Amino acid sequence: MNDQGGEWLKERLDEIRSLSGYAVGETEESLVRRLKIKPSEVVKLNSNENFFMPREKLSAFLIEVAGEVDPRVYPPREEETEFRRALGEYVGVPPECVTVGGGSDQLIELITRLFVERGDEALSITPTFPMYRYFVALEGGKYIEVPLREDFSLDTERMAAAVTAKTRLCFLCSPNNPTGNQFKTEEVQSLIERVSGLVVVDEAYAEFARHSLVRLVKKFENLVVLRTFSKAFGLAGLRLGYAVSNPYLSITLSERAQLPYSVNHIALKMGLKLLENIEIVKEAVERLKKERERLIGELNDIDGVTAFESQTNFVLFQTKRRSDEVYQALRNRGVLVRNFGRVLHLDGCLRATVGPPEMDDKLLAALKGICGG
């Protein structure tokens, strides 16, 4: 490679390395080593995983699937077709409206790569899921953030005013991460009508919420709704997601833009198994929602803690103490949460996954000792 080519490569690599990736904080493994405790003693409430899905059921399905799959063979196209049909029935759209991907993150990356070029703009809110910013920056686009109002609602007028001729995408996470609230349908619809580019509504937590916007893809050609199997379905480790949009866009994404065999065979068959046994998922979701209300109430009973309402499988809460101090004190007690610090006008914010009662009780006991003592 000549000097000119080498310089270009170094500049591009430096540009990529300067991007802020997705920070997960301390891992379960590092906490086990640092505290010299057993993995079973860690209360892992930092990644919004669904521990209400019965592991024994999922393991049994995995054993069945492993016996059905020949790992030497690429996933048959018919199986993805069957999976898309089942997904269409689940969300109430024709199967040709569904695009399957290796997790919703992969679909966010795909959509951004296809529709954002260097110098283009993408609009979103703050605070929200950080991967939108990352993928836009990776393509050389300009990421425009509009703060939520103090009550966490959309500032639709300010967002509409931020739309320009260069706006190619608008990302909305609803219910939103980390605030936990779901935006009003009429507000999102108003924004869809005022954005000429694609509006991508990320509904990773839709099963825990009051409603979905999936039905609106029949009305708006510029709407894409993202869903995942990582949350309600408890398959975070298998990376399975899907997008719902108008048939022309969906078929284009599926047949022209996706890499061949973008979803592994095990994930496809596990997704189909759970759709065929959807009552297991629904029961787990209902138990989680019930525990969510208990957790919010118990958090608000702790002196110096304020928990916010949630339509997700996590709860954002604020403490009067510095969030760094609370986060570190929780870690030292074997409890992992996410430290956010300042969220809009609120200092001292942290986020905890809604875990089964025995996990939440350990979080609550630790917080009482840290904040209420």
**Domains and their CATH numbers in the chain:** 23-48+280-371 (3.90.1150.10), 55-277 (3.40.640.10)
pTM of the shown model: 0.95
Helices (H), the chain: 3-17, 28-35, 55-68, 77-91, 104-115, 131-138, 156-162, 185-194, 247-252, 265-276, 278-300, 323-332, 357-371
Query: For 7-41, how does the pLDDT look when each residue is reduced to its tens digit (9 = 90+)?
Result: 888 888 888 888 877 677 778 888 889 888 888 89
Task: Report pLDDT for 27.
Answer: 85
Instruction: Check residue 25 and give its pLDDT.
Output: 74
Q: How many CB atoms lie within 10 A of CB 27?
A: 14
Contact present, 95 and 81 (Cβ < 8 Å): yes
**Angstrom distance (rounded) from CA 294 to CA 288:** 10
How far apart (Å, rounded) are the C-alpha atoms in residues 191 and 175? Answer: 16
CA distance 281 to 273: 11
Paired strand residues for 315: 352
pLDDT tens track for 327-355: 999 999 999 999 999 999 999 999 999 99
Cα(179)–Cα(309) distance, rounded to whole angstroms? 9
What integer pLDDT is reported at residue 142 of this predicted model? 97
d(CA 19, CA 141): 12
Low-confidence ranges of the chain (pLDDT < 50): none
Give the pLDDT of residue 4.
Answer: 59
Query: What are the CA-CA distances from residue 153 to residues 45, 127, 172, 188, 340 (Å)?
Result: 25, 11, 12, 11, 19
